Structure 1
Amino acid sequence: MKNLIKHYVVYKNIALFYLIVSLLTRLVLLFHPITQSHFSFIDYLKIFSIGILNDLFVFIPIGSLLWLYLIFISNTKYKKPFGYIILGVFVSILLYILSGESILSEYGGVLPEIGLAFVGLKTILFALLLFFEKYRKKIRFVLFSFTLFLFVLLIIQNAVSEFFFWNEFGVRYNFIAVDYLVYTNTVIGNIMESYPVVPLFSIIGIVAVLSTYFIIQKSKKYLDEIPNINAKISIILGQLVLIALALFTIPNLAKKEDSSNVFTNELQSNGLYKFYLAFMNSELDFMKFYDTLPENELANFENITHVKLNQNIVHIQPTEKEVQKNVVLITIESMSAEFMKHYGNNENITPFLDELADKSLFFTNLYATGNRTVRGLEAVTLCLPPTPGESVVKRKDNKNKFSTGSIFKSKGYQIKYLYGGDAFFDNMQDFYGGNGYDIVDKANLKSNEISFSNIWGVCDEDMANKAIKVMNEEHQAGKPFFNHWMTVSNHRPFTYPDGKIDIPANSKSRNGGVKYTDYALKQFFTLAEKQPWFKNTVFVIVADHCASSSGKVELPLEKYRIPAMIYAPGFIKPQECHTLMSQIDLMPTTLGLLHFNYKSKFFGQDVFTPHYSPRAFIATYQDLGYVKDNYLTIISPVKRVKQFLLKPKSNSNYEIYYDEIPTENINNKYKKETIAIYQLASSILKKKKYQSLMIPNKNN
């Protein structure tokens, strides 16, 4: 037992360092000026006793990463023939990546370079330890020291990050921290502008080096007597037991955060576990972090939202006779308005969509609600403004919602979600399956139906062919159908079948991805026109979001402008609609054109009704924007409100670019409208009042 315990020396020293840093962090946060609260003796007891236990058990699974490194320290693996076999495996993987045909190259971006750097470094280091046995101990000590330095640096960096996060929000990590991780470049830029980074990182580096030095002095004896295979098995088994104990204990300790004092709950918790919970739960409490209005005041904005908090149902009763045509909704991956010729693009990368727009009801002034596919899917499916945190699509409470699908299903339609990739990705299968859609994805395609695929799924052309087959089967069943097809080809790595367009497939360019998707859509409509159901079908085409979202301001308007059109020859007259509108309005407008009679919970509205007031919603995970009357109002956590006057660069109806000029005085009318709409949407979701009605067809 004594021999076994000494092998834990490295783990013990890093754990002790983590506990000390966590305790100091807790003390600093406790006495921070933002922590304006009175604490009782019981509060102090919970903060430090439960707090230390939280830190200890959270470290156990994190410390497993250290064990992964320590367990693989061995002299045996360098003996013949094992050493040469292992080196051969490393070289083979390296050559595989260098070939340019690896899965990393297929995805593209910086992944091949990262993979090459990592495997290349591992190969070089292993070769050095294999061939230079005389220097193996020194090389290993350098690697050992560097690894411990990384752990120490990360522990210190996390403590500093927690301090700055507390300094801004007065809480441990939440979904805003997850948001910061997603928008790394923006956050780094903000840090560079807001803090004295050189002195700060210099101090962090010096403290990390000194701390590492002392830990190494106490831990280097591990290298003098590396545990044998039996000891390593015992260590692994022991670590598995500790991990199991930690996974059981951590959530139970979290249940002790039951004080009426919010600061007590936050201080006794562990920031890393809070980050994990935020990442998994994907929500941000609107009432806690945003400026709000009293509930009785929300009623004053019913004419804006057309939704009530306590009775959020509106009966849509057109005077015209209902038209039950098939509806095909096509959401196009990353199709920014700026790609189309109509909006000034001269590269001819959307020839079919430009032609189709002239034959359609073309919405020229429509904005995406967000900058990710799940936000776009949420917008056209739930017709709901974006709420803080992750899209409803990825939340646990995402089933049996009031949706476009539920409307069509109540009318006797067959409803399906078609996706060329694996619908498990981004929780699409869980969301659409849980809302009554049948799902057709890559798994439903036979091998002879796939001509080309990449990491995201089959090419759009293959899925177009599959969609035609599915719709033919639905037509033969004798019931109308509503199908939602999500394309995939306009996505990194931008690979597609060669010889289809005039941009080589091996260029892996955004323009190529855009033009190939445009080509695939043309093939789809060419086939569709030959089918017996075509003349009885309404096609709704819209982007899920823009190709990029970063800009010089929080919400750059041009990064949310997307094309949208409704195409139904002989039914819908081609025309341009220049009315400002949101992605959430597209399907209610489609239902209006069909004269559907239904009870609605939608925030989205039919833009052709007299009561429609032009506005749009644009958002990130935490910045919620409201565009109206040439004003952009943004509400953010910690009850921040910003407002910009929007000045278009030209008078064109297709102008994408606006100067966003900060207003000196906040317009209170638009501020309150912004808060009211987002607060109402968040409250209705939280109170589970956005569930499906599933009105039987006979009652319509």
Structure 2
Amino acid sequence: MVPRTFKNCSRGLGRLLWLALAFLGISLLTRIGLALFSGESYSVGSWLRFLAVGMLFDAAVLPWLLLPWAVYDAIVPEKIDRPFLKCAETIWAGIWAIAYFSFFSVVAFGEFAFWGEFSSRFDFIAVDYLVYTHEVIGNIQESYPVGLWSGAIVLFSAGVWALTWPRDMAPPVAGWKLRFLRIPVLGLAAFAGVSGLTMDTALRTENAYVGQLSLNGLYSLFHAYRHNELDYERYYPILPAERLNDRIRSLVAQPGTSFISSSGIDRNVTARADAGRRDVNVVLISVESLSGDYLGMFGNTQNLTPELDKLANDGLLFTNLYATGTRTVRGLEALSIGTPPTPGQSIVRRPQNGGLENVGEELKEQGWTPYWVYGGYGYFDNMNAYFCANEYKVVDRTDLDAEGIAAHSENIWGVADEDLYSLAMRQFDREFESGNRFFAHIMTTSNHRPYTFPEGRVNFPQHHREGGVAYTDWAIGNFIRRASEKPWFKNTLFIITADHTAKAAGKTDLPPSRYHIPMIWYAPGLIGPGVEGRLMSQVDIAPTLMGWLGLDYTSRFFGYDLFRLEPGRERAFISTYQKLGYLKGGRLVILDVNKPPVVVDGFDAETETAGTEGTAAIAGDDALIEEAIAWYQSASSLFREGLLKDIADDGDEEQKAPACR
């Protein structure tokens, strides 16, 4: 049964048409399915917009997929007289046709899975995941019935091929000149597609979901691959060098600091008179994907976090903290070096990222032993290399056997959080027995797909995000209870926060509510119960900690010590890999590639809608935009110029860096 469409086509043209219709049809169904899957209500105009623009992007990708087949068709004669060779060619072509259709289908399934996690088409996160195939393939295998789905896709593809593939029609035979002519024609079409369309063609809309639906997944993937690192000064608005220097210095200055020179942000920080906790150990836990709205203290009614809610009641709760980005490495960057996000890739994964001014190195200079403790394999995302190059002792899941710890549960991302904490406590016990203070940055993994954990811990099912959150909460409570029996507990500050939220996408490009994360400082006897509601960024955590400990040091942090910051100067940074947001005074500045700055005023966190949007829409916006530019431009240029490297403090002894693995 061959569709009438192919009856009068030559063999090659019929096959190319079949492949084109298969790709365009699956792309259309994917777009419609994602629109329904998003759970949003779209107007007729929005439907027409993303279907029409989406077809343009599908058409731009199509020639690239057809080119290999056109080359094959040009080389292999259409008329084959020998039955055996003709049969072999038919089988060979059929195998590849089924493979093509299966590939289109797998991409479609992948888009649904990616949308469910990130509410967008493929982006730079997908590119990063392709680099770490072991973790990604393992995660897919543990999260989905891959064998069953793969078999179903191949069988379905074979069925479609059997019913619709153009064959045995005795069609007209195309000469070799015509067959070879298709190659440059498709090549020109491929070039025209990538030259004539830009991401802005799809994304120029007030509704971010409509923009994403207007894209094609493969187009988005390869665009992200080509633009994974962005030069700020090439793509974003900038200030002249002299104005930039004056502006950033005025922004980072605060009481108790004095600049070292006439340019840059290098400054001496003097400890507060009321602070003096130089003997306190510090355990900083960055929890995987812990959105603020998971916690009961922020209104969640599912009882996912009873342990964290109790710790919040007994400790100091920060209620207005925002993550800088949407990736673990972005959160680690902010927590360690206190720097606003630079466009493109996180500094954790960039070259020349060793020897930076960072909280672990600063504490090491003043007597603490800094640790990076991770529940997975730390080569992922360059994490072990980054922390080791910045003077942390590195510990990850490869150390469990040497410590004699048998994991209660593990998946492709890491061991169960309870085993991670056991591993960390082994290090703390040794440091305490040696008379050393310690600072440990612990990164969890259990609240990550496939959401598996030891049985019998929580009353939530495996393989669901709610179960992952609940187990993560249980493990933190269990860790605190076990730690309370240790001799070092009474003199230890526990800081519990998140690397980022579970979902950062929304109707708008940078919805601030999707970057809201919790933070709890818990130290019975050292910190009384309380609530801190001032606006705060992840980049402020390190300098706030240094100030609380009562330390004098030389700083290149961009963050503030919130406890001594004058009211009205609070601000936060939020970002994707391309869009850079600056929150201050209830307004949001958005800097984007090759676009004028946009200011959103009167943002409603509940509905994720903006009251007023535009460039310099409200009196005073020019100054706010200049602030945003100064922060982001300075962070990018100072890192590029090597001016975020460590500054030796007076009296520091040269210390040998640990051997990295």
TM-score normalised by the chain length of structure 2? 0.68
Q: Is 1:310 matched up with 2:285?
A: no
> 1: distance between equivalents of 2:585 and 2:250?
16
Say if 1:331 and 1:103 are closer, same or farther in 2 by CA, change over 3 A. Answer: closer
Q: Is 1:636 matched up with 2:592?
A: yes
Contiguous gaps of at least 5 residues in structure 1:
1-9, 15-58, 84-101, 142-147, 169-176, 181-185, 202-270, 650-655
> 2: distance between equivalents of 1:475 and 1:532?
8
Say if 1:127 and 1:166 are closer, same or farther in 2 by CA, change over 3 A. Answer: closer
The DSSP-based 3-state class of the residue aligned with 2:453 is: coil
Matched letter for residue 622 of structure 1: Q
Matched letter for residue 315 of structure 1: N
Matched letter for residue 240 of structure 2: P
Partner of 2:198: 165
Cα displacement (A) at 1:479: 1.4
Partner of 1:361: 316
The 8 Å contact of residues 316 and 528 in structure 2, kept in 1 or not, is answered as yes
The 8 Å contact of residues 365 and 653 in structure 2, kept in 1 or not, is answered as no
Instruction: Pick one of 339, 343, 351 that aligns with 2:306.
Output: 351
> 1: distance between equivalents of 2:70 and 2:394?
38
Q: Is 1:484 matched up with 2:431?
A: no
> 2: distance between equivalents of 1:151 and 1:502?
61
Partner of 1:534: 489
Partner of 1:565: 520
> 1: distance between equivalents of 2:338 and 2:136?
36
Matched letter for residue 606 of structure 1: D
Partner of 1:645: 601
> 1: distance between equivalents of 2:237 and 2:167?
60
Partner of 2:544: 589
Contiguous gaps of at least 5 residues in structure 2:
1-11, 17-63, 77-84, 96-133, 172-180, 254-258, 655-661
Q: Is 1:552 matched up with 2:499?
A: no
Instruction: Pick one of 354, 367, 371 that aligns with 1:416.
Output: 371
Deviations 1:293-337 (A, max 9, x none): 111112044222338893321111113545231111100011111
The DSSP-based 3-state class of the residue aligned with 1:572 is: coil
Say if 1:520 and 1:74 are closer, same or farther in 2 by CA, change over 3 A. Answer: farther
Say if 1:167 and 1:423 are closer, same or farther in 2 by CA, change over 3 A. Answer: closer
Partner of 2:102: none
Partner of 1:689: 643
Partner of 1:107: 139
Q: Is 1:474 matched up with 2:431?
A: yes
Deviations 1:229-275 (A, max 9, x none): xxxxxxxxxxxxxxxxxxxxxxxxxxxxxxxxxxxxxxxxxx99997
The 8 Å contact of residues 333 and 487 in structure 1, kept in 2 or not, is answered as yes
Matches within 5 A, 1:39-50: none
Matched letter for residue 370 of structure 2: I
The 8 Å contact of residues 247 and 627 in structure 2, kept in 1 or not, is answered as no
Matches within 5 A, 1:17-416: 107=139, 112=144, 116-122=148-154, 156=189, 159-165=192-198, 189-190=210-211, 278-279=227-228, 283-298=229-244, 299-306=246-253, 310-318=263-271, 319=273, 320-321=275-276, 323-416=278-371
Q: Is 1:574 matched up with 2:529?
A: yes
Cα displacement (A) at 1:391: 0.8
Deviations 1:476-511 (A, max 9, x none): 222111111001011111111111111132xx1111
Cα displacement (A) at 1:681: 1.1
Moved more, 561-570 or 113-122: 113-122
Partner of 2:572: 616
Cα displacement (A) at 1:115: 5.8
The DSSP-based 3-state class of the residue aligned with 2:611 is: strand
The 8 Å contact of residues 410 and 697 in structure 1, kept in 2 or not, is answered as no
Moved more, 624-633 or 299-308: 299-308
The DSSP-based 3-state class of the residue aligned with 2:340 is: coil
Say if 1:105 and 1:443 are closer, same or farther in 2 by CA, change over 3 A. Answer: closer
- Over the aligned positions, Cα root-mean-square deviation in angstroms equals 4.4
Deviations 1:548-596 (A, max 9, x none): 0111111101101100121111112221111111111112111111101
Matched letter for residue 627 of structure 2: E
Say if 1:153 and 1:448 are closer, same or farther in 2 by CA, change over 3 A. Answer: farther
Say if 1:488 and 1:167 are closer, same or farther in 2 by CA, change over 3 A. Answer: closer
Say if 1:338 and 1:152 are closer, same or farther in 2 by CA, change over 3 A. Answer: farther
The DSSP-based 3-state class of the residue aligned with 2:600 is: strand
Partner of 1:606: 561
The 8 Å contact of residues 417 and 472 in structure 2, kept in 1 or not, is answered as yes
Say if 1:433 and 1:159 are closer, same or farther in 2 by CA, change over 3 A. Answer: farther
Matched letter for residue 642 of structure 2: K
The 8 Å contact of residues 248 and 265 in structure 2, kept in 1 or not, is answered as no
Say if 1:296 and 1:531 are closer, same or farther in 2 by CA, change over 3 A. Answer: same
Deviations 1:320-361 (A, max 9, x none): 545231111100011111111111111110000000011111
> 2: distance between equivalents of 1:541 and 1:66?
57
Cα displacement (A) at 1:665: 3.8
**Identity value in percent:** 34
> 1: distance between equivalents of 2:277 and 2:419?
34
Matched letter for residue 165 of structure 1: T
> 2: distance between equivalents of 1:529 and 1:64?
66
The 8 Å contact of residues 104 and 111 in structure 1, kept in 2 or not, is answered as no
Say if 1:575 and 1:66 are closer, same or farther in 2 by CA, change over 3 A. Answer: farther
Q: Is 1:450 matched up with 2:482?
A: no
Cα displacement (A) at 1:128: 12
> 1: distance between equivalents of 2:199 and 2:445?
40
Say if 1:125 and 1:587 are closer, same or farther in 2 by CA, change over 3 A. Answer: closer
The 8 Å contact of residues 135 and 413 in structure 2, kept in 1 or not, is answered as no
Say if 1:157 and 1:473 are closer, same or farther in 2 by CA, change over 3 A. Answer: farther
> 1: distance between equivalents of 2:249 and 2:434?
42
> 2: distance between equivalents of 1:363 and 1:151?
61
Matched letter for residue 249 of structure 2: E
The DSSP-based 3-state class of the residue aligned with 2:480 is: helix
> 2: distance between equivalents of 1:150 and 1:496?
53
Say if 1:662 and 1:571 are closer, same or farther in 2 by CA, change over 3 A. Answer: same
> 1: distance between equivalents of 2:472 and 2:199?
45
Cα displacement (A) at 1:189: 2.9
Q: Is 1:494 matched up with 2:448?
A: no
> 2: distance between equivalents of 1:584 and 1:444?
30
Say if 1:154 and 1:503 are closer, same or farther in 2 by CA, change over 3 A. Answer: farther
Say if 1:463 and 1:128 are closer, same or farther in 2 by CA, change over 3 A. Answer: same
TM-score normalised by the chain length of structure 1? 0.65
Instruction: Pick one of 662, 679, 682 that aligns with 2:612.
Output: 662
Deviations 1:185-238 (A, max 9, x none): x98832766xxx9xxx9xxxxxxxxxxxxxxxxxxxxxxxxxxxxxxxxxxxxx
> 2: distance between equivalents of 1:313 and 1:328?
27
Instruction: Pick one of 616, 623, 626 that aligns with 1:672.
Output: 626
> 2: distance between equivalents of 1:486 and 1:109?
23
Matched letter for residue 635 of structure 1: L
How many pairs were matched up? 514
Cα displacement (A) at 1:448: 4.6
Say if 1:631 and 1:150 are closer, same or farther in 2 by CA, change over 3 A. Answer: farther
Cα displacement (A) at 1:126: 8.4
Cα displacement (A) at 1:66: 8.9
Deviations 1:168-200 (A, max 9, x none): 7xxxxxxxx9xx9xxxxx98832766xxx9xxx
Partner of 2:35: none
The DSSP-based 3-state class of the residue aligned with 1:449 is: coil
The DSSP-based 3-state class of the residue aligned with 2:518 is: strand
